[in-house]
Chain A
């Protein structure tokens, strides 16, 4: 019955005519089986109704039904999440039906805070990502699979393709400066839980506007990601085995000088430079072909009363940088039981153990002995090998004295072990009809240990003759959550009323300690024998705890399936809020109008759905770490009389008025469906005014004498405005060929609207050894994190300065020429100093998009997924360092200015300070083919013959093709140096590139078995 839908509609209309002329009707019993079109599995509980009547039945456990009808009647088969089918009863007695899933999914159930609703009843802005999209290609972290899948959702790895690197997900831009802008994650109702495996996730809902997020009150301002794990379905047990195997390589390397070129270049700087004996391509040495294996086995099923889903997963990655890798085991179990019709209980548990073998990348500093593997592979002299003539590791001979990257990668140890466990229990009871009480109790824990060892062979890493340095760190976190709420549903006239009210309590504790030692007798001791070190390092420990208790409620009212109203409110109290502001209230209201259900559109053949949504509300960002508002002293290490003595310093003053940040969000949305929802279009406009931003008060002079230079205050305001468009079309729908397209596009404009006293806030993100501060800036009227520095105007040719330009004091021909910025009176001082800096780049993209096409031809399918971001700038510390004279250089160095080569944009070969200039600002726009996948489902008859339900093989490629003008290795950069954090650097330090672990391109083979 697979047909082009339009044709089918015409067909039904014609049938209607036929029906009119059909004569007498004859009673008979029709039987059949209803299956899902995609997997051929029987569907239990499908409604089978005779059109135009109220009589009907539903399918049983095995998808079978039986119904008495008169010939010529029409049977309507309907099932939530599937497209209903109408079938005319003709002469036969057997009608088997396969239902296809409703892609537009207006009736799909969407999980929202403390409940769920039909998509068509939503008043808020909610995007969904389904399991197929989440598992389109293997990912270590389910968050990575969200990239490009939902409008307004930006996903970024903290460190390129590093195995196990943290992932940041931002919804509708950065709503904060000083606090986290990361979305709140709720997994099966557990607030703040870790993501399960992508393959265990049924759906991900992204709650974006205040109407949807205000139910999470002080934690809702950054948006909420609702993750729902898979549950068992009634029916026989299904076993699934999914395996993916990928081969990975770095997507790009830099073109650097070889040993001869480098020696010439260095001799131009320092004539006595003597070329080393080797010619080494360090990038080649530290990169390898990596691979990833991902294996998942799940069992699911259920009876009338109980359903279950259990799965185990093993993930193993060998990184593309030697010695880096990641391994993880995890399991998930979901059991739900109906003890009576009214009483249900369920249990959900998740556990994992991961092991990350790290190599140092994106170092905070690359000064003496502290380099990282990637940036060193660029800057380390190419004329040395790994070992010198005596068999010792080579050390850089220009710039900072650092070990070679291969020695660092292969000889240091850095292992992080994380054990997670989460258990969540619920019980639900229907007290009277329509009134349900639900209680949940959950507990989660994370135990993390990290061991690091730098052997004595790394002379500079461990410092001369330290004899190896080991550190061991342990972090233990536990979290309990108890929530209790009542839901009441009632029909009132033509309307439906749903009420929700509840109480929630959550407590989180984290304790941490670290110890270390230096001077080990042997490098074989590693970090498991700290007592084997001669000199202990001062041990540190810390503890933090917070509690949050809340009352929350929601009213939903829909009238005549035309008008929808939603009001939510949450009152949060939190221990980390300051003394005078312990409680906060966050309300929201929303209105929806289903215009397509109005008489003037109801019968319209073209417009199948039209809904207008409007919402306004306040959400918060708790933004305050525990104890941040308290006055504090700090213990420091001090020596007097050669003895170590107890010592304290004044740390900060109290701020009893410190409070959460508040976002006031307006959302205007339009959902539009055409031709029976073959085309679905969603448009959202939002405006978010964030007030009371918590910032380190850098306006406080440093001479006040407190250790914390910038203590926190509610002193900023910011605005985010944007548009989001989602377009899903089913372009071709025939029996043998289908083509679907999903496109999303979003544009966010961020603007800092108020800073303390209107003053700029200067931020530092340069690696420590660059010795540069004030690299970027917060300025009223500008977006977050503008690059700030000198405007490069080419090479100074000596003699008179070109109009409007100047050089630094003492510059000679061949040095850098910069714009000389006039003072308020329009006068230029003719020399470059700190007054000549300006905004030289904006890291915020103008817009970003995701574009997915799925083609299906018979048993073959092809998916092509593009994702991109356009208009953001990148500042490359990598290129700045490579042009500084004290390192290897890019091929650009072959074209440096000399008295005989003056027509060039590259200054003369010299050692220069690593100044922030526009010379190292690049357009970071990119469009990337994230995934291309070709799949084949073995024919059903073949598969069934061997007792299987489904066998699927696919071959896919990730990140195989990227369009960008950025000359660095990868435009998705995320360097953060936290050397002077007067702001949460992940919000404001965007678009910086230094030693990023390279992005990976991979080829993946997948096999999915179902039986």
Chain B
């Protein structure tokens, strides 16, 4: 008997744990299976694309900084900064450039998120009137992102649905620039059809955003007639869309005021909170003056700094100049002029610094401004006006209508913090088509200075040889029109899919 008791006792060892089915029940891990249950889930997925836009590898730094550096308006301050940055300023970019290889996957993750949202919305089976105005954001996001890519790279891999078969996706070829533009336009048309007239915030695209981007896309492809039509559509409906020019130009770049303004058609928002590199805004740091005590954010890093020629050539009477440039800093409690900046840190240079981002970074800002509350306008109403003016001039030169659009922008610039001045004056009526074109591009240069627009203007108007030549703000002898209007595709991506070869000319 005793033996049996002991045996029974031992056998309980076995029975404590029976056979398990070994299925995984992941806790704290999100499964795509059955994720899409409501319209809100589609919005959550679209929000993921906004989250990726506000990450370091996109608008936080990696994607946005080269756009600045390639323009003639911004160069490198601290020469000791990363070579991969300097390469963009000097046009010595190679196919393994660390900025490009770094933002490339993130950009496609924004697109992947948009595709996922569109596919998820399709399986919901919700009413068109319910789901389409939401999913139209994803169409916009996809168009917005591909628009960046096509301008930077030309022909690119194009995907408009979630990849479920990686093997198949490995061998796709590049889609031609023209075809990509056609798809961008189709997406924007969808977005324009379904997005609401207004949104609770400019972080969400509206009908006007889609139309405004259509105008910009058409302008970029030199389809001036459509560009004018779309821009005009926005302008004619400005009150319906709740759009207008902000009275004081400075408010556009004051993080504490941006949320309540009605000028931006689409923004990438930061709110001072961060998780890792998500929600972290490096632009105040990159553009700020080292050792500057102004704003108490710990100064900047003096990386992206305009050549002093920007300061020299910008009319001192222009209010926008004082909003856009910092000519002084505070050091050891004393305000000092930019010629003395290097005295406080040898990595500063004798030039006026970009003020649009480092000056008013918001209440939670610290860490050199990395906790800024900036909302970065991707398109603002002033630009829509300038698009209309530029496009109209190409269709019908010398109209007072075109003059009027520019004059609205200049009129606002005459409001210097409440004091109305007489600079800049209205456009001289009757300019020739060429002169008007030059004038409106100059207007864009000052109005949209450092807003990541200038490089795209240089590219679409093929201004490189001129602006980087002997009389340019920046002389860049390395600039080659045959090569530098396009980035190289990342070389490792070409290795993964040789069908993407050849790389862009010159790389």
* Contacting residues of chain A (629-647) with chain B, CB-CB under 8 angstroms: 630-647
The verdict on A702 contacting chain B, using a C-beta distance below 8 Å, is: yes
Nearest-neighbour CB distance to chain B for A961, whole angstroms, equals 41
Q: Which residues of A contact B371 (CB under 8 A)?
A: 535
A549 x B22 contact (CB < 8 A)? yes
A537 x B496 contact (CB < 8 A)? no
Q: Report A449-482 CB contacts with B as 1/0, cut-off 8 Å.
A: 0000000000100111111000000000000001
The verdict on A429 contacting B10 (CB below 8 Å), with A543-B27, A582-B22 known, is yes
The verdict on A484 contacting chain B, using a C-beta distance below 8 Å, is: yes
Chain B residue with minimal CB distance to A399?
Answer: B80
The verdict on A343 contacting chain B, using a C-beta distance below 8 Å, is: yes
B375 x A642 contact (CB < 8 A)? yes
Q: Which residues of A contact B13 (CB under 8 A)?
A: 427, 439-441, 482, 484
Nearest-neighbour CB distance to chain B for A673, whole angstroms, equals 41
B51 x A632 contact (CB < 8 A)? no
B204 x A641 contact (CB < 8 A)? yes
Out of A537, A639, A702, A762, which one reaches B104, CB within 8 Å? A702
Select the stretch in B64-72, B234-242, B271-279 that faces chain A: B271-279
The verdict on B370 contacting chain A, using a C-beta distance below 8 Å, is: yes
* Contacting residues of chain B (160-176) with chain A, CB-CB under 8 angstroms: 162-164, 166, 169-170
Select the stretch in B291-299, B382-390, B420-428, B466-474 that faces chain A: B291-299
A632 x B108 contact (CB < 8 A)? no
Q: Which residues of A contact B14 (CB under 8 A)?
A: 439, 482, 484, 503
Select the stretch in B42-50, B212-220, B429-437, B440-448 that faces chain A: B42-50
A498 to B234 alpha-carbon distance, docked (Å): 88
A704 to B94 alpha-carbon distance, docked (Å): 23
The verdict on B328 contacting chain A, using a C-beta distance below 8 Å, is: no
B271 x A704 contact (CB < 8 A)? no
The verdict on A398 contacting B17 (CB below 8 Å), with A429-B6, A647-B51 known, is no
The verdict on A881 contacting chain B, using a C-beta distance below 8 Å, is: no
A641 to B24 alpha-carbon distance, docked (Å): 38
* Contacting residues of chain B (289-330) with chain A, CB-CB under 8 angstroms: 290, 296-299, 301
A639 x B279 contact (CB < 8 A)? yes
B98 x A771 contact (CB < 8 A)? yes
The verdict on B23 contacting chain A, using a C-beta distance below 8 Å, is: yes
The verdict on A541 contacting chain B, using a C-beta distance below 8 Å, is: yes
The verdict on B484 contacting chain A, using a C-beta distance below 8 Å, is: no
A220 to B478 alpha-carbon distance, docked (Å): 58
Q: Which residues of B contact A638 (CB under 8 A)?
A: 47-48, 50-52, 54, 278-279
B28 x A705 contact (CB < 8 A)? no
Select the stretch in B29-37, B186-194, B244-252 that faces chain A: B29-37
Q: Which residues of B contact A643 (CB under 8 A)?
A: 201, 271
Nearest-neighbour CB distance to chain A for B318, whole angstroms, equals 30
Nearest-neighbour CB distance to chain B for A667, whole angstroms, equals 31
A538 x B274 contact (CB < 8 A)? yes
A701 x B169 contact (CB < 8 A)? yes
Q: Which residues of B contact A467 (CB under 8 A)?
A: 366
A270 to B265 alpha-carbon distance, docked (Å): 46
Q: Which residues of A contact B80 (CB under 8 A)?
A: 398-399, 885-886, 911
Chain A residue with minimal CB distance to B292?
Answer: A464
Select the stretch in A45-53, A234-242, A573-581 that faces chain B: A573-581
A462 to B368 alpha-carbon distance, docked (Å): 10
B298 x A703 contact (CB < 8 A)? no
Nearest-neighbour CB distance to chain A for B166, whole angstroms, equals 5
The verdict on B111 contacting chain A, using a C-beta distance below 8 Å, is: yes
* Contacting residues of chain B (66-122) with chain A, CB-CB under 8 angstroms: 79-80, 82-84, 92, 94-96, 98, 101, 104-105, 108-109, 111-113, 115-116
The verdict on A647 contacting B366 (CB below 8 Å), with A431-B7, A641-B200 known, is no
Out of A575, A772, A834, A885, which one reaches B22, CB within 8 Å? A575
The verdict on A632 contacting B30 (CB below 8 Å), with A649-B52, A698-B496 known, is yes
A632 x B31 contact (CB < 8 A)? yes
Out of A427, A642, A810, which one reaches B271, CB within 8 Å? A642
Q: Report A468-505 CB contacts with B as 1/0, cut-off 8 Å.
A: 00000000000000101000000000000000000101
User: Residues of B within 8 Å of A, CB-based: how many?
Assistant: 102
User: Residues of A within 8 Å of B, CB-based: how many?
Assistant: 98
Q: Which residues of B contact A653 (CB under 8 A)?
A: 163-164, 166
A640 x B47 contact (CB < 8 A)? yes
The verdict on B409 contacting chain A, using a C-beta distance below 8 Å, is: no
Q: Report B354-397 CB contacts with A as 1/0, cut-off 8 Å.
A: 00000000001011101101010000000000000000000000
Chain A residue with minimal CB distance to B269?
Answer: A639
Most chain A beta-carbon contacts within 10 A, residue among B55, B204, B290, B367: B367
Q: Which residues of B contact A798 (CB under 8 A)?
A: none
A484 to B14 alpha-carbon distance, docked (Å): 6
Q: Report A257-278 CB contacts with B as 1/0, cut-off 8 Å.
A: 0000000000000101110000
B346 x A397 contact (CB < 8 A)? yes
Select the stretch in B127-135, B410-418, B455-463, B487-495 that faces chain A: B487-495
A927 to B392 alpha-carbon distance, docked (Å): 80
A465 x B24 contact (CB < 8 A)? no
The verdict on A701 contacting B7 (CB below 8 Å), with A463-B370, A549-B19 known, is no
Out of A538, A582, A645, which one reaches B275, CB within 8 Å? A538
Chain A residue with minimal CB distance to B17?
Answer: A505
Chain A residue with minimal CB distance to B95?
Answer: A834
Q: Which residues of B contact A507 (CB under 8 A)?
A: 17
The verdict on A60 contacting chain B, using a C-beta distance below 8 Å, is: no
The verdict on A464 contacting B366 (CB below 8 Å), with A535-B273, A631-B32, A650-B32 known, is yes
Q: Which residues of B contact A273 (CB under 8 A)?
A: 346
B48 x A547 contact (CB < 8 A)? no
The verdict on B203 contacting chain A, using a C-beta distance below 8 Å, is: yes
Out of A427, A441, A466, A640, which one reaches B50, CB within 8 Å? A640
A484 to B9 alpha-carbon distance, docked (Å): 12
A772 to B54 alpha-carbon distance, docked (Å): 24
The verdict on B482 contacting chain A, using a C-beta distance below 8 Å, is: no
The verdict on A195 contacting chain B, using a C-beta distance below 8 Å, is: no
The verdict on A640 contacting B163 (CB below 8 Å), with A632-B31, A646-B47, A704-B108 known, is no
A160 to B109 alpha-carbon distance, docked (Å): 39
The verdict on A648 contacting B48 (CB below 8 Å), with A464-B368, A698-B496 known, is yes
Nearest-neighbour CB distance to chain B for A836, whole angstroms, equals 11
Q: Which residues of A contact B52 (CB under 8 A)?
A: 636, 638, 649
A644 x B115 contact (CB < 8 A)? no
Nearest-neighbour CB distance to chain B for A167, whole angstroms, equals 29
B297 x A464 contact (CB < 8 A)? yes
Chain B residue with minimal CB distance to A706?
Answer: B112
A641 x B203 contact (CB < 8 A)? yes
Q: Which residues of B contact A431 (CB under 8 A)?
A: 3, 7
B112 x A704 contact (CB < 8 A)? yes
A707 to B24 alpha-carbon distance, docked (Å): 22
Chain B residue with minimal CB distance to A541?
Answer: B28
B20 x A639 contact (CB < 8 A)? no
Out of B55, B164, B269, B496, which one reaches A641, CB within 8 Å? B269
28 sampled A-B residue pairs with Cβ under 8 A: A401-B290, A427-B9, A429-B10, A439-B10, A463-B298, A463-B366, A482-B14, A484-B14, A535-B371, A549-B19, A575-B24, A582-B22, A626-B26, A630-B24, A634-B30, A635-B30, A638-B50, A639-B51, A639-B279, A648-B44, A648-B45, A649-B113, A699-B496, A701-B493, A703-B169, A706-B109, A771-B82, A771-B84
Closest 8 CB pairs of A and B: A464-B298, A705-B112, A638-B51, A641-B201, A463-B367, A439-B13, A637-B275, A647-B47
Give me 14 other A-B pairs in contact (C-beta within 8 A), A636-B275, A643-B201 excluded. Answer: A431-B3, A437-B10, A463-B298, A466-B366, A575-B22, A641-B201, A644-B271, A701-B170, A701-B496, A705-B115, A706-B163, A774-B492, A834-B96, A886-B80
Interface residues, chain A, with chain B CB atoms under 8 Å away: 270, 272-274, 343, 368, 397-399, 401, 427, 429, 431, 437, 439-441, 459, 462-467, 482, 484, 503, 505, 507, 518-519, 535, 537-538, 540-543, 545, 547, 549, 573-577, 582, 626-627, 630-651, 653, 697-707, 709, 759, 762, 771-774, 809-810, 833-834, 885-886, 911, 913
